[in-house]
Structure 1
Amino acid sequence: MRPFDSAKAQSSIFDALIDAAKIHGAKKPILEDQERNPLSYTDLIRAAFALGRKLAAMTRKGERVGVMLPSSSGGVVTFFALHAFGRVPTMLNFTAGIRNLRAACELADIQRVLTSHRFVEQGKLHDLIDALESRTEITYLEDVRATIGLPDKLYAAAAGALPRQFRTPVAPSDPGVILFTSGSFGAPRGVVLSNANLIANCRQIAQHIALDPDWVFFNPLPIFHVFGLTGGVLLPVLTGMKAFQYPSPLHTKQIPPLIKDSKAAVLLATDTFVNQYARAAEKDELSGLTFVVCGAEKVREETHNLITEKFGPIPLLEGYGATEASPVIAVNKPTDNRRGTVGGLLPGVEVKLEPVEGIPGGGKLLVRGPNIMSGYLQADGSVEPPAGGWHDTGDVVSVTEDGWVKILGRVKRFAKVGGEMVSLTAAEDLASAVWPDCRHAVVAMPDPKKGERLILVTDRRDADTGPLLSHAQRIGAPELTVPRKIIRVPEIPVLGTGKTDYVALQRIVEAELRRAA
Structure 2
Amino acid sequence: MPKAVPLSHKNILTNIRDTPLTVLSENDALIRILPPFHSFGITVTTVLPLCTGLRTVYHTNPIEAPVIARMIKEYKVSIIVGTPTFLSGIIQASTKVQLRPLRLAIIGADKCPDAVHEAFKERCPQANIIEGYGVTECSPIVSVTPEDYPKLNTIGRILPSFEYRIVDVDTGKNAGKNRAGMLLLRGASVFDGYLNYDGDSPFVEYEGKKWYRTGDLVMEGEGADGVLVFCGRLKRFVKLGGEMISLPAIEEVLSNHIKSDNGEGPVIAVEATTAEETPELTLFTARDTDRATVNNYIRDAGLSALHNIRRVIKTDEIPLLGTGKIDYRLLRERLNRDLGPAQK
1:486 is aligned, of 282, 288, 312, to 312
1:230-265 per-residue CA deviation (whole Å, 9 max, x = no partner) reads 010112221231122221112122111111212211
1:50-69 per-residue CA deviation (whole Å, 9 max, x = no partner) reads xxxxxxxxxxxxxxxxxxxx
2:65 is aligned, of 236, 246, 252, to 252
For the 8 Å contact 1:321–1:328, the answer to whether it is kept is: yes
The aligned residue for residue 222 of structure 1 is: 35
Q: Distance in 2 between matches of 1:318 and 1:409?
A: 15
The aligned residue for residue 426 of structure 1 is: 249
For the 8 Å contact 2:99–2:123, the answer to whether it is kept is: no
Q: What amino acid maps onto 1:475 in structure 2?
A: A
* Equivalent residue runs for 1:181-192 within 5 Å: 187-192=1-6
- How far the C-alpha of 1:386 sits from its partner, in A, is 4.4
The aligned residue for residue 268 of structure 2 is: 440
1:501 is aligned, of 304, 327, 340, to 327
Cα 1:436/1:347, change in 2 over 3 Å: farther
What SS does the corresponding residue of 1:392 show, helix, strand or coil? strand
* Residue 375 (1) aligns with residue 193 (2): yes
Q: What amino acid maps onto 1:223 in structure 2?
A: P
Q: Distance in 2 between matches of 1:411 and 1:194?
A: 27
- How far the C-alpha of 1:202 sits from its partner, in A, is 0.7
- How far the C-alpha of 1:223 sits from its partner, in A, is 0.6
- How far the C-alpha of 1:471 sits from its partner, in A, is 3.1
Identity %: 33
List alignment gaps of at least 5 residues for structure 2: 261-265
Q: What amino acid maps onto 2:39 in structure 1?
A: V
What SS does the corresponding residue of 2:35 show, helix, strand or coil? coil
- How far the C-alpha of 1:204 sits from its partner, in A, is 0.6
Q: What amino acid maps onto 2:38 in structure 1?
A: H
Q: What amino acid maps onto 2:196 in structure 1?
A: Q
Q: Distance in 1 between matches of 2:202 and 2:51?
A: 27
| Aligned pairs, number | 324
1:417 is aligned, of 240, 252, 266, to 240
What SS does the corresponding residue of 2:19 show, helix, strand or coil? helix
The aligned residue for residue 263 of structure 2 is: none
The structure number with the bigger radius of gyration is 1
2:291 is aligned, of 445, 462, 465, to 465
* Residue 345 (1) aligns with residue 158 (2): yes
What SS does the corresponding residue of 1:427 show, helix, strand or coil? helix
- Normalized against structure 1, the TM-score is what? 0.59
- How far the C-alpha of 1:310 sits from its partner, in A, is 2.0
- How far the C-alpha of 1:420 sits from its partner, in A, is 2.5
- How far the C-alpha of 1:473 sits from its partner, in A, is 2.9
Cα 1:291/1:374, change in 2 over 3 Å: same
- Normalized against structure 2, the TM-score is what? 0.87
What SS does the corresponding residue of 1:235 show, helix, strand or coil? helix
- The CA RMSD measured in Å over matched residues stands at 2.4
Cα 1:283/1:320, change in 2 over 3 Å: same
- How far the C-alpha of 1:313 sits from its partner, in A, is 3.6
The aligned residue for residue 391 of structure 1 is: 212
List alignment gaps of at least 5 residues for structure 1: 1-186
The aligned residue for residue 176 of structure 1 is: none
For the 8 Å contact 1:416–1:422, the answer to whether it is kept is: yes
Structure number with the higher helix fraction is: 1
The aligned residue for residue 356 of structure 1 is: 169
- How far the C-alpha of 1:475 sits from its partner, in A, is 3.3
2:20 is aligned, of 206, 211, 219, to 206
Q: What amino acid maps onto 1:202 in structure 2?
A: I
- How far the C-alpha of 1:355 sits from its partner, in A, is 0.6
- How far the C-alpha of 1:379 sits from its partner, in A, is 5.4
